Structure 1
Amino acid sequence: MTRSHEPLIRLARFKVEELQKQMAELDRSKGALISQIERLEASVPEEQAVATQSRDGYLAYGSYAQAVIKRKENIRSSLDEVEVQADALRDRLGDAFQELKKFEVLEERRLAHIERALRAAEQDELDEIAQIRHRRPN
């Protein structure tokens, strides 16, 4: 009789869960970066309105706008890095799912084989009982 694949299944399932946690963390990071960009973009009209109210504000707005543009570029760069990491992690997660599925299929086959063997043994036993009864005089 072959050995159970349960330890391999547990290990593969743990690996899948860990990779899923990492993916969720990357998704949270991506969401935070997108929120930062949205906040920066939302602040621009407010600053434009303030800048039009005074000459000093108007002069300072140019520096502010350049800083916002640079910050958005930096955030988008970070967002690109997160996407690269997420793509690589998706590949690893796909491989881990395939490995888990492979072990689960092997275990299903092993259990089905055991079930067939038990049914065959039971049938052999019933056949033997039937033969014994058939040979006995009534």
Structure 2
Amino acid sequence: MKSRSESLIRLKKFQVDEKRRQVAQIEMMVADFERMASELDQQIEIEHTKTGISDVAHFAYSTFAKAALTRRDNLLNSANDMKSKLEVAQDGLAEALEDLKKVELLDQREHQREAQEQLKVEQAEYDEIGRLRFSRQ
């Protein structure tokens, strides 16, 4: 019985670790997307300063700035998509943690029950020793 509960606890811990890795990986991706979008914003501002044209509708607007704007928007959309995936992953992590706690509590109760049974057996042995000593007197 112990090996089964220990195996189940190991499995649940592995699942929790895997969910944590997924959450961390998604958080890192979101941060990277946002960082790259910020860098593109800076490059766009530099281009605006260089050309003196910041109106996207202007006929002489920089093609580099247009491309950077499109890329930045795509990165921000990707970051938003990843944020929704992050929420799902965080929910999965919370669920995996709850499952782990339940299994650990059940295991702890089982250990307590075994300890109580062992105490009862020991007490019965002490009682028997006491009865034998008393009957000899």
Moved more, 60-69 or 81-90: 60-69
Question: Contact 2:47/2:62 (CA < 8 Å) preserved in 1?
Answer: no
Q: Distance in 1 between matches of 2:63 and 2:102?
A: 58
Question: Contact 1:47/1:61 (CA < 8 Å) preserved in 2?
Answer: no
TM-score (ref. length: structure 2): 0.86
Question: Contact 1:15/1:96 (CA < 8 Å) preserved in 2?
Answer: yes
Q: Distance in 2 between matches of 1:97 and 1:48?
A: 50
User: In structure 1, what residue type is equivalent to 2:68?
Assistant: V
Give the aligned partner of residue 33 of structure 1.
Answer: 33
Q: Which has the higher contact order (CA 8 A, sep 6+)?
A: 1
Give the aligned partner of residue 129 of structure 1.
Answer: 129
Structure 1 stretches lacking a partner, 5+ long = 53-57
Per-residue CA distance 1:51-79 (angstroms, 9 max, x = gap) = 14xxxxx9754433322322121111101
Q: Distance in 2 between matches of 1:98 and 1:20?
A: 14
Give the aligned partner of residue 98 of structure 1.
Answer: 98
1:1-138 paired onto structure 2 within 5 Å: 3-4=1-2, 5-52=5-52, 61-137=61-137
RMSD (CA atoms): 1.7
Identity within the alignment, %: 28
Aligned length: 130
The alpha carbon displacement at 1:122 in A equals 0.7
TM-score (ref. length: structure 1): 0.86
